[in-house]
Amino acid sequence: MPSFVDGHTLRSLLRPSTNGRRSKTSDGGGGGGIFKMFKLMPMLTSGCKMVALLGRHNSRALLADHATTVTLFGQRRGRVSLAIHEDTRAPPVFLIELPMLTSALHKEIASGVVKLALESDTRSARRRLVEEYVWAVYCNGRKAGYSIRRKEASDDERHVMRLLRGVSMGAGVLPAAPEKEGGAPAAAGPDGELTYVRARVERVVGSKDSEAFYMINPSEGGVGGAGDSAGDGSAPELSIFLVRMK
């Protein structure tokens, strides 16, 4: 079956510009906003202490509204996970461990543009698109493999969600989960430091079988662009496509 990555389904999900152009990045190329923060990640390690403190005050999250957010996280030498939240105070509506290493994602981020495409060949009239289980995963047009959506988060994933409960956007390194409840955070595991990128996204529903998520540029409040020239139709810095094949 042909992939939707180069087909009409993908083009139908591409968000048209509302003002005739995409938002510019502040550096004229490469990628700005959240991705710039991610490139400075070694400098952000100390900021995780603040994230840890925020995670302890679950009754007062920082998000004033129920914005849709996307989180990519994982240990540097382990696999990266994707979580989509309609409300960060609640469990994610979509959670999956992608068939690619976090280090590989870091390399894609360094290019300034990340486009993740997930295809499902299974179909059920009673399931929402985000409730499908088996997904083929593509990153920037290259097939990475297959993954199965998680019904429930693992202990490590719940640890990440707890720390980021009040965070709307950001990137950095998180403290590892404590070895026992109430204990001090453990040192980085054998797979390295636990890194994350979280962004607010604009959700575009093409149909019951297709949805797209575009990162909102925090500096301009619009969908971010990967290029500098106005009107060039550049793709957003981070975009995620979910498609159920017919």
List, for the chain, all residue ranges whose pLDDT scores fall below the cut of 50: 1-2, 4-7, 10, 12, 16-31, 39-64, 187, 225-236
Confidence at residue 65, expressed as pLDDT on a 0 to 100 scale: 54
Which amino acid would we find at residue 162? Answer: R
Confidence at residue 45, expressed as pLDDT on a 0 to 100 scale: 39
Confidence at residue 63, expressed as pLDDT on a 0 to 100 scale: 46
* Overall pTM > 0.75: no
* Distance in angstroms (rounded) separating the CA atoms of residues 80 and 6: 24
Residue-wise over 151-181: b if at least 16 C-beta within 10 A, else e? eebeebbebbbebbbbbbbbbbbbbbbeeee
Confidence at residue 193, expressed as pLDDT on a 0 to 100 scale: 84
- Partners of 79 in beta bridges: 101
Confidence at residue 97, expressed as pLDDT on a 0 to 100 scale: 96
